[in-house]
Amino acid sequence: MLPEEAAHELAIALLKKNILPSLSENDEKILSTNLWGLNFKNPIGLAAGFDKNAEVIEPLVKKGFGFIETGTVTPLSQTGNPKPRLFRLKADKAIINRMGFNNDGADIYAEHLRTWQDAKNAKGLIGIVGANIGKNKNSNNAVSDYVLLLKKIWGLSDYITINISSPNTPNLRDLQYKGALHELLAALIETRNKLSSDNGKKIPLLLKIAPDLEDSSKEDIANLALAHNIDGLIISNTTIAQREKLKTRVHAGEIGGLSGKPLFSPSTYLLRDMYKLTGGKIPLVGVGGVFSGDDAYEKIRCGASLIQLYTALIYEGFGVVDKIKKRLAELLKKDGFSNVSQAVGKNIQL
């Protein structure tokens, strides 16, 4: 009923006022999983892009998610790309966005993360929260941006995602190429090791990649992730392909990243490939087109240890989270699994 960005802003405003109902927080034990020393009550998470400034973590935790990923944050605040930059493709259950990392910057973001940590400790709240970091549009040194952000938010989140795969920041995806990625990961791992040594806390580093990769790039990313001991891969960001298949022709030609149902197949295909290329040695987070428990289960069987969604909320509302968890538990039991972790990669021959 509302314009796209107005609807998003209203959702954030309502969450801030805590007037939206909480959803089920009592998950079946079959859905619990442990990764990186973190206990996820269920594997269904919120993808980055919804709570860019980490403003509404506490109310989001009460919506039944197993984890929340905030951001993408950049060192300096930026307004993003000119409007309109967000488009619903209703017949496709899809979204095209070219937001451009609009956010309030690292200082405000870090303060919001501190507020969450204080509330969590004071109220005894349980919630796993990730921080998604990216470079500024006009940055002359991408590596410096990521290193600065790592230092700025260290210890304020449960894991950190290195976003090098949004199609809406010029040259960002170039960081996925072998030489640039090696330089970036080497700098970040060195920084992480020093931060861990200084305060005794190791925080998982995840890498978020694009679905539009050549086979050689997939191999390079897998090899570098293994060589640098990256803790996880998030697969995947939005796609710049798949436009010829869209039913909603009025917006099909818009520049930006496509998410929602059309992203399910290409992102799951990439998930399978990366599970094989990494030999199942790196935990994978499956993202893209998840609207149902069946969708989540397919990604899990194709190698995902965790799942993220966002576009489904736009078309189904927060209630879709409980529906997905209920159906996922049914499918796991039907196939004789006692825990979701047992189903990871079952469709893949290594």
pLDDT at position 201 is 84
Residue 128: helix, strand or coil by DSSP?
Answer: coil
Angle between helix 264-277 and helix 215-227 axes, rounded to 10 deg? 50
Closest among 240, 236, 213 to 288, alpha carbons compared: 236
Look-up of token digits 């109902």:
21
Every domain of the chain and the residues it spans: 4-343
Reported pTM: 0.96
Note the pLDDT tens digit of each residue in 290-316: 999 999 999 999 999 999 999 999 999
DSSP structure class, residue 343: G
Question: Which of the residues 166, 236, 259, 305 is marked catalytic?
Answer: 166
Note the pLDDT tens digit of each residue in 2-42: 999 999 999 999 999 987 777 766 899 999 999 999 999 99
pLDDT at position 199 is 80
Show the tokens assigned to 29.
């034990």
Closest among 336, 209, 226 to 277, alpha carbons compared: 226
Residues of the chain with pLDDT under 50: none
Show the tokens assigned to 105.
């910057």
Separation between Cα atoms, residue 340 and residue 32, nearest integer Å: 7
Give the burial class of 170: count Cβ atoms within 10 A of its Cβ; 0-12 exposed, 13-18 middle, 19 or more buried.
Answer: exposed
C-alpha distance across the termini of the chain, in Å: 47
Catalytic: 166?
A: yes
Residue 288: helix, strand or coil by DSSP?
Answer: coil
pLDDT at position 190 is 95
pLDDT at position 92 is 97
> Cis peptide leading into 236, omega within 30 of 0?
yes
Separation between Cα atoms, residue 145 and residue 172, nearest integer Å: 12
pLDDT at position 24 is 65
pLDDT at position 95 is 97
In CATH, the architecture of 4-343 is: Alpha-Beta Barrel (3.20)
Angle at 44 between CA 316 and CA 336, to 5 degrees: 110
Edge-to-edge strand list for the sheet holding 94-97: 86-89, 94-97, 257-260
Give strand pairing partners of 17. none
Residue 310: helix, strand or coil by DSSP?
Answer: coil
